[in-house]
Amino acid sequence: MNTRVAVISIIVENREAAEKLNGLLHEYGGYIIGRMGIPYHKKGISVICVVVDAPQDAVSALTGAIGRLSDVTVKTAYARQ
């Protein structure tokens, strides 16, 4: 199975979305290498960075599901290899 390393950047603008987001990340937890979350109280948002090593389809499915959450923005960057 071919996998790629990707960095998924997530901005959460409503804390109520956090429970659904955490559920999705738990579902794909086997692919997650590391995760960092930074609450930015001044702006009322949270910034989350998730690094995964997963098949392209799994990364796309995860980011698509995250992108459908209300008040959540997601972008992905892939390693060349």
Burial class (CB in 10 A: 0-12, 13-18, 19+), 20: middle
Query: Which among 34, 66, 61 is positioned nearest to 50, based on CA atoms?
Result: 34
Residue 33 has what pLDDT? 98
pLDDT of residue 1 exceeding 90, the answer is no
Q: Span 20-40, mean pLDDT?
A: 97
> Tell me: the pLDDT tens digits for 35-81?
999 999 999 999 999 999 999 999 999 999 999 999 999 999 999 87
What's the topology of domain 4-78?
A: Alpha-Beta Plaits (3.30.70)
